[in-house]
Amino acid sequence: MAALGFTLRVRAGALLVALLAVLSIAHRFPEWLSLPSPNTDHGIQVSAFDSQFKPVLRDLPSHGTVGYVSDELTTGDNRPSFWEFCYIQYALAPLIVVDSPEYPFVIGNFHKPPQANRMSQLKLTLLKNYGNGVMLFRGTSQ
């Protein structure tokens, strides 16, 4: 009889843990339900980023880490700028892309022309403009 009671307590404890786990993420359910389908690429064309950033690879080392700057914040779970950063990381693989201007090479992804004084403050020197807001800068070393 004691074994049956122990089993019942274990089952109740497991159920309680599972219920607490579900409740701890329940506040995210509405956000998950409103996400775009995987086929929409979060409103961004992944293939466009791939073809737009592949030419930059010819001017970068074959491996290592490069910096990244943009005119928009890359933080936030579901902002387009965050997904752009992710897709650029994908397009430039196997390179590691870090959201920082403090690397010898820095990729620029701009939606409007970058301000010269901002690039100067970041100590970035333009090496090549690929068009469509894609640029390669010489940055500072880490």
Instruction: Please list the residues that pair with 80 across neighbouring strands.
Output: none
What are the per-10-residue average pLDDT scores of the chain (142 residues)?
67 85 73 52 62 89 92 68 84 91 94 86 93 91 62
Neighbours of 102 (CB within 10 A): 13
Domain ranges of the chain: 1-34, 41-138
Residue 53's H or E segment, with its range, is helix 46-57
pLDDT of residue 82: 82
Biggest alpha carbon–alpha carbon distance for the chain? 79
Q: Which burial class, exposed, middle or buried, applies to 133 when counting CB atoms under 10 A from its CB (0-12, 13-18, 19+)?
A: middle
- pTM beyond 0.95: no
